[in-house]
Structure 1
């Protein structure tokens, strides 16, 4: 076994891939909470922000009815979201058959 230089645990936890994944998860969770105010109340629990990429927001929905409704309102939703996240230029809605609506 080789001798390895000691590493500060704080630095390790901040810079590790796991820490970055956790930070992204926390950010997505906060974003989901913020977006509840912008999305129609009748669809509460039937969608979630799945990922935020360079200029797009990927939104996972429970079924085709919810997706279609969001597609009809896409421009209005995008303009409201851009007031808080100006870097977002596209909303991507996709159906996840495994999605379990919140109760």
Structure 2
């Protein structure tokens, strides 16, 4: 599987240091069921905190989200995509219009300048 280099390094480190059951219980045994538990019991880490954490490791959160959004709206109806992404159905429709947009004018303009 092709992975971004920084993510590949993190995964390789995880493979080199396998998680034992006791270590897993220490990390995820808080009963919340969240991969990224927040400070408040039973709550996930907030979006900004998760975004900052991933950016510390050089993982491009915004571009990955945008790519996932475009992939989702091109393969599913926008109304179905809205809820999992936490956006309004109208915003999902705008993403679908953007993803399926007619790029011929842009390509024609580029051909003229090249």
**Same-fold status (TM-score > 0.5):** no
State the TM bucket, normalised to the shorter chain: under 0.3
Higher relative contact order (CA 8 A, sep 6+): 1
When the two structures are superposed, what TM-score results if normalisation uses the length of structure 2?
0.25
When the two structures are superposed, what TM-score results if normalisation uses the length of structure 1?
0.27
Higher strand residue share: 1
Higher helix residue share: 2
